[in-house]
A and B are shown apart, each in its own frame.
Chain A
Amino acid sequence: MKSINDTLNKIRQNGKKAFVAYITAGDPNLNKTVELVETISEAGADIIELGVPFSDPLADGPTNQKASERALKQGCHLGGVLESVSKIRQKGIETPIVLFSYMNPLFRFGFGELSRRCREVGVNGLLPVDLTPESFLEEERHFKNALEKERIEPIFLMAPTTKTSRWKLIEKETKGFIYYVSRTGTTGVSDKLSEGLLGKLKEVRKVVKKPLIVGFGLSKSEQVKTLAPYCDGIVVGSAIVREIETAKNFKEAKKNTHSLVTKLKESLI
């Protein structure tokens, strides 16, 4: 299993950009998640983000909300997601995996137990969507301690609205990379890059040194091409989830996600 850091450093050294692919775990079910991760890795994803389904995903747009609902109907929960990661590793897939989750399922699982299990099954990082680095350092410091103990990497978001005074704090607390939210809004596909994004990225770049991975709303080759020079990589989520949702059958879902990832990855380089 590769670490997020090594993976991103290598990509940087080669003058390339990272492709991060997001899917919701358990959509359409956990066995298929294992297959989809295999497909997406083969297609060239450098890091995989697995969404832990939650009943109230308030940072997500309709595409990911519905995926979460489908996964929950299948009885998919954090414990099952961890087991599927173990299966992914058993298949010899070494791509770094980050769990994207709302706090409550993590809190309920217990931070100590969660970190241990992440280590055991081969999860590299955790992205708690509704946790700020401030809370991570204060009230939820036992979460931080637990992750540190098991060397699981916390990942924090930075947004266009994030005050300049907090950039350094976010950079300090995030471990694998900074996930830069490319627009103010929820996850979900949009056609255009938001206004002022490239300028913002330039400013951020001057201040933070850790890898900057940009996502939220990306789906098109042109968007990816435009963004690439300004960051270390991109995340594509809803666009992939949408392929899974709209495919006639699972075979087609695999085929379509494969070609989408291949196409966007090519635009990145």
Chain B
Amino acid sequence: MNPNSRGFYGQYGGSYIPETLSAPIEEIKEAFEKFKNEESFQADLSYWQKEYIGRATPLTYAERLTHFLGGPKIYLKREDLTHTGAHKINNTLGQILIAKRMGKKRIIAETGAGQHGVAVATVCALFGLSCTIYMGEDDTKRQRLNVYRMKLLGASVRPVTLGSRTLKDAINEAMRDWVTNIKNSYYLLGSALGPHPYPQMVTEFQSIIGREVKEQILKKEGRLPDQLIACVGGGSNAIGLFHPFLEDKDVSLIGVEAGGFGIKEKRHSARFEGGSVGIFQGTKTVILQDQFGQIEETESISAGLDYAGIGPLHCYLKEMGRAKYTYATDEEAMNAFSILSKMEGIIPALESSHAIAYIIKEAAHLSKDKIIVCNLSGRGDKDVETAILYSSKEEVNN
């Protein structure tokens, strides 16, 4: 499903930007349109996907988890096994190949959990481009390891000290850098967010996830799955899994947002629980905002889901009834983090743990002959420190 020529999916999307960005956004749009269908671009992309990212990633049957929960057959799409350990690299590789063709020498990006930042720093090192990453100061603290990884990869990491010091502030700051340095710089946005054409471009580069799943599950099971499940921050790993299945109406699609400390307590990042339509960081979408249109602070144990907006295509899929959205709390995600580690020997990213948490909650309601596929968007090594902190707080509380 593509947006209309102005970047809208129904009433969502578009391009709401300061005038200075009009020309550079147009330039990216033209480049994307031109290259995405070019054979040499596609050949280049496939080459690096295979030789560098290590695609295709496996679709692993989670046998012990399946038996433990006693419900449907559970498959995990192993984006945790990509180079750098999260799906983010699918997008950064695609976009950097475009940036290179545009002749850009400097890459700017934001990062929340640091996974996108690491994936950007990685492809910049691979192609020898200069790299500047903006990261909220709070996130630099909870994701210290990733800050170090980015620096090791040669990136300059700039902590953002204004605003709420998380992902949205990093995006603001990256955009400010971009308007100031548009001639030589390319802004490599990390999720299916922001002004057109970013949501479409990120969707395109992440859709490899769903395309592989389709092929793999047909080979393993001879049929399509009944349900696809993914966590939703900005929405890139979820849309990457969902997109190739949009026309397969019998496959139900479930997105899991971050319920944080709690919805009632208003300490969460679940845009579809209490959010409303607004215009934020270049796009018209559902956002968490107060009655005056100020963006609200969000909360989640996972930095990658801690964001007040959501990709416009998800709003459209929800409105059309094509996808359903729910949430998992910090507590449920931490529990899933530990269960998957023990059951399958896979430590999931805290973001992905939200999707697992949904399965743990809902598996009992689905019969054994059903098949579900969960996107394991990333590995959890980066989250071990957060997990230690969380469990020590739990001990104090109990």
Contact = CB atoms under 8 A, between A and B. Distances in A.
Given A104-B279, A105-B294, A108-B292, A58 B176 contact: yes
A56 B165 CA distance: 11
Q: Specify which of A56, A58, A134, A139 lies most central, judged by the most chain B CB atoms within 10 Å of its CB.
A: A58
Contacts of A59: 18, 20, 176, 179
B19 interface: yes
A132 B293 contact: no
Interface in A72-130: 72, 77-79, 102-109, 129-130
Given A61-B176, A163-B26, A139 B278 contact: no
A104 B286 CA distance: 12
Contacts of A58: 18, 171-172, 175-176, 281
Nearest to A78: B292
B346 interface: no
A169 to B, nearest CB: 11
Contacts of B15: 132, 135
Contacts of B287: 104
A159 B295 contact: no
Interface stretch (A8-16, A145-153, A180-188, A249-257): A180-188
Q: Specify which of A54, A103, A104, A109 lies most central, judged by the most chain B CB atoms within 10 Å of its CB.
A: A104
Interface string B145-180: 000000000000000001100001101100110011
B216 to A, nearest CB: 40
B294 A54 contact: yes
A181 B279 CA distance: 23
Interface in B256-304: 278-282, 284, 287, 289, 291-295
B24 interface: yes
A185 B177 CA distance: 8
Nearest to B164: A55
B17 interface: yes
Contacts of B41: none
A166 interface: yes
A21 B163 CA distance: 26
Contacts of B169: 56
Q: Specify which of A55, A72, A109, A160 lies most central, judged by the most chain B CB atoms within 10 Å of its CB.
A: A55
Interface in B21-37: 22-24, 26
B293 A109 contact: yes
Q: Specify which of B6, B8, B19, B281 lies most central, judged by the most chain A CB atoms within 10 Å of its CB.
A: B19
B16 A162 contact: no
Given A104-B280, A130-B16, A72 B294 contact: yes
A65 interface: yes
Interface string A189-202: 00000000000000
A66 B162 CA distance: 8
Interface size class of B (residues with CB under 8 A): 35 or more
Contact of B279 (A57, A65, A130, A156): A130
A158 interface: yes
B70 to A, nearest CB: 46
B288 to A, nearest CB: 11
A161 B179 CA distance: 10
B180 A186 contact: yes
A9 to B, nearest CB: 25
B182 interface: yes
A229 interface: no
B14 interface: yes
Contact of A157 (B19, B281, B284): B19
Contact of A77 (B8, B163, B179, B292): B292
A108 B20 contact: no
B172 A156 contact: no
A103 B279 contact: yes
B23 A78 contact: no
A132 B280 CA distance: 14
Nearest to A185: B180
A101 to B, nearest CB: 10
A130 B194 CA distance: 12
Nearest to A179: B19
Given A108-B289, A184-B182, A56 B280 contact: yes
A131 interface: yes
Contacts of A157: 18-20
A243 interface: no
Given A131-B16, A157-B18, A161-B22, A56 B162 contact: no
Given A62-B162, A107-B278, A135 B292 contact: no
A129 B22 contact: no
B282 to A, nearest CB: 7
B162 A65 contact: yes
B289 to A, nearest CB: 7
Interface string A24-61: 00000000000000000000000000000011111101
B162 A108 contact: no
Contact of A130 (B180, B282, B293, B294): B282
Contact of B293 (A62, A104, A159): A104
Interface string B174-214: 01100110110000000000000000000000000000000
B149 to A, nearest CB: 27
Contacts of A156: 19
Contacts of B280: 56, 104
B22 A166 contact: yes
Given A78-B292, A105-B293, A108-B278, A181 B180 contact: no
B13 to A, nearest CB: 9
Given A104-B287, A132-B19, 14 more contacts: A56-B172, A58-B172, A58-B176, A59-B20, A78-B292, A102-B279, A104-B278, A105-B294, A132-B17, A135-B16, A159-B20, A162-B22, A184-B182, A186-B176
3 pairs of A and B residues whose beta carbons are closest in the complex? A108-B293, A157-B19, A105-B293
5 contacts: A56-B281, A162-B22, A170-B19, A184-B182, A185-B179
Interface of A: 54-59, 61-62, 65-66, 69, 72, 77-79, 102-109, 129-132, 134-135, 138-139, 156-163, 166, 170, 181, 184-186
